Structure 1
């Protein structure tokens, strides 16, 4: 795509009809000169003249370098062979990203010594030919086993460059034991203080100092102690984004109040983590994915967007309703995912006074979501959000074990004391014939006075997949139990819900694909 865009740009530069008179005259003179050169080439048949036919428009070298910098590394290397200008700018290419795709090794098995040797030779060749000027990004994302000596030699070169982005991402199979990131190479303040984005994966990391201008830090499968991480964070006061994934040596994460610029924090699947303490006053976005942890946020923390996904059976929704209003009182967008809820959503007086968007995902860990959980209890969660505008409930399961509305359709519960005056959009994915879910839906229709749109999807569509047809022309497979349940859900909608839909509300019911999800009784 990079080469195609470049050719298009050069074509437009040569043939544009919308330029001013002076520029048009210049193009005519360039075209005349090009014709003379081509004619000369035809007579002398010199190879050098043939090359001039591909030299492109006469542009300043800094513009050529800018165009060249926009190309992926592989395309940039290719066009360097057809243009003197690109050959010069190739030696100063600002983005040195060495990935399997960039080096033409995408799709080749990682465990191959021949491929590893070929890869190291390519990287060595590029670095030796590079002038070392103008480099902004230096990324090694190989996902292939490479001799640590080569990695160290490449990073030795990186220390001599005034780079802004440094990444070393190795295979997770390294298990952070095969490679120690050479912090000693970065002890020079001049080098360390130019790095704004640091990304490390599949290695051990033992920093003894911070990075003065570091704004973004990403650690994946990295072995680092609590004290080492604390030292790094404490001495990187410019930090804005922090991401920690699969860092299983961390048991405690402490973020001090001096991180005035930190606005984004993601912690995912750090299996031994027990406590997150954050006092960064301007933290606005927080995402967590993992087991049950204790959250301690300072009074001045201003989190507005939050995502909680707990893969352990720890009643995530219950705890969120009971505790989050006091921990993040200014939250506006909240997404919660739970694999097990055996305690119904509690009724507590504290409210989410600013929450406008609420998404709750219930993902069954063992096929069916626990039947002891009462979907209707979510009414109390909605009541705790007086300015809520959008509510999305997604239930992902392979079979339904709740009591069906058809078993006892009488005495559908109602709670007239709860009014939801600002809810405009409601979507329920994985809608089933469970009596408590039908009761929840009817309650919303009767008490959400500003409701504009209600979507009921009988197939779970958490990630916008499953029911929809993709490029292959087929939907993802769904078990017989859920196809049958989807038919039951459609009947429940027709019998108990449609008659309660006000004329001002648009009802959208999504059924299984009739071609891919046909079910024979």
Structure 2
């Protein structure tokens, strides 16, 4: 409800009050002419109802609205934004009383509309505004507290603690604290504020750039369903003590927590279904016994991964951060660590060795995506894309295979001038494979061999998509064979920018398709080919 709706409501209140006053005035005139005579002979004057509106002390009420319960006014106010609610409180005594119980305290530069120029001025105004609002707040009825400060805003730790003490009261459900960078060495979240029943109603906690040291036996977050820690100083023992008592926990996200060496999740967290661990580079062990962990995303260094013998993890997204051989790690470690996988995404910045044959199998894997990217350096030119058949052989129930390759420099053995070695590896029939996409398809000899191998051995294949351009803004939309162009996928900025070498390579890849691929496509398979954009990818 915005200010327009509020003004409409106030106008209706004034009309209702005017009609009520006119009716009371008419009733007063009528009763002033009538007197009743009781049995004892005394005379009683009936007091007009209008006078009954007078408050104690003889002052007449100035209230101009319907006599609604206080909780109704609080509900009306809660439907407004923080900005509109504050303005309403400044023009109405009724809303002012309810404002002191406003439930959704969302303090950011955007919500407080601090658009003035000058970082120092914005920081001072932001801190002053937050302090004024929280100082005048009763602390009653708070459901959400979000404190988000820009990087140039310096907040005093004592003042921050006072704000948290006002807002974190019984009944609060969400606490988000987004501090400027490098605050984690300056500020420690006061866990004592969660004692005394104040933490039992919290469902979501998000902390950034601070220290968080819950004591042993910390049992104050019984209702917590989501915990998100970013750039937070917390040890494995402290985190274990915290989550082991959060029986309602469903989602746990840890990012850039550089004090974590091990992460252990106990068996009794039966509701935990989603786990994200990213850029915790000191982490060495991840051990989860949570029986219903369904999705796991990992971005970091090599770790010893243990998800339990009866792991229910079905979705896994993994990348060894800025280190080579993520594919090697995935095919040697994951079949035994996560035997029930159904979808797997592996990202690699470089593969120094070819992908070996797997010792174990992904017996339930249905969706596999491999993303190869070589940031500042080219992906290893000696890598044999045909070795990715190891993943296909290890996945007897695989239905969808997507390979995306981003190469900044096209250095590889071209299929032109070299003989293809189709059938050079033992042929396994991939009887369940129905959909294959290769994004960033190029003229590399081993990539052409991989494509031909799939066409010959995927007996249930329904569609093959070959996209000669890797565009991070457009991966998935295809056109029928015969239309090798692509439409601009960005309405205003066009397709993604790529180098001249990659545009030339895309045209070479189109030649490869016409010479080596089209003749091998079975009649039942739909071939989709995409080339460079005629508008955005012109050769300079």
Which residue of the partner structure matches residue 406 of structure 1? 416
Question: Does the Cα contact within 8 Å between 2:341 and 2:365 map onto a contact in 1?
Answer: yes
Range moving further from structure 2, 285-294 or 457-466: 457-466
Residue 272 of structure 1 and its aligned partner are, at CA, apart by 1.1
Counterpart CA distance in 2 for 1:435 and 1:324 is 29
Q: What whole-Å deviation, never above 9, does each CA across 1:3-45 have from its counterpart, x for those lacking one?
A: 49x86x999x9xxxxxxxxxxxxxxxx89968987xx9xxxxx
Does the alignment pair 1:346 with 2:356?
yes
Aligned partner of 2:35 in structure 1 is: none
Q: Which one is further off, 211-220 or 301-310?
A: 211-220
Cα distance in structure 2, aligned partners of 1:252 and 1:76: 46
> What's the CA shift string for 1:276-295, capped at 9, x where partnerless?
11111111111101111111
Residue 502 of structure 1 aligns with which residue? 522
Q: How many angstroms does 1:465 deviate by? A: 7.2
Change in CA separation of 1:514 and 1:232 when aligned onto 2, cut-off 3 Å = same
Contact residue 283 and residue 303 of structure 1 kept, 8 A: yes
Superposed CA offset, 1:415-466 (max 9, x none):
5721122222211111111011111112222222222222211111345379
When the two chains are superposed, the root-mean-square deviation of aligned CA atoms in Å is 3.2
35 and 80 in structure 1: CA distance in 2 versus 1, 3 angstrom threshold:
closer
Post-superposition CA distance 1:105-144 (Å, at most 9, x none): 36967xx333222112111222234343322111112233
Match of 2:182 among 139, 152, 173: 173
Summarize the alignment of residues 27-426 of structure 1 with structure 2, pairs less than 5 Å apart: 68-78=77-87, 90-105=99-114, 112-143=119-150, 144-174=153-183, 176-188=184-196, 190-208=197-215, 209-210=218-219, 211-413=221-423, 415=425, 417-426=427-436
1:436-447 to 2 correspondences below 5 Å = 436-447=446-457
Deviation (angstroms), 1:76? 4.2
For residue 19 of structure 1, what is the aligned residue in structure 2? none
The gaps in structure 1 that reach 5 residues or longer are 14-29, 41-51
Largest Rg, 1 or 2: 2
Number of equivalent positions: 481
Is 1:363–1:395's contact at 8 Å kept on the other side of the alignment?
yes
SS in structure 2 opposite 1:202? Answer: strand
Q: Distance in 2 between matches of 1:238 and 1:287?
A: 20
Q: 1:336 Cα shift?
A: 0.6
- Is the deviation greater in 455-464 or in 72-81? 72-81
Distance 1:10 1:354 in 2: 60
SS at match of 1:139: strand
C-alpha separation in 2, matches of 1:444 and 1:351? 19
Shift of 1:303: 0.4
2:503 paired with 1:493: no
**Preserved CA contact (<8 Å) 1:457 1:511:** yes
C-alpha distance after superposition, 1:352-392 (max 9, x if no partner) = 11111111101114431102211111112112212212111
Work out the CA distance in 2 between the residues paired with 1:283 and 1:414. Answer: 40
Three-state SS of the structure 2 residue aligned to 1:192 is coil
State how far apart, in whole Å, the 2-side matches of 1:134 and 1:472 are. Answer: 45
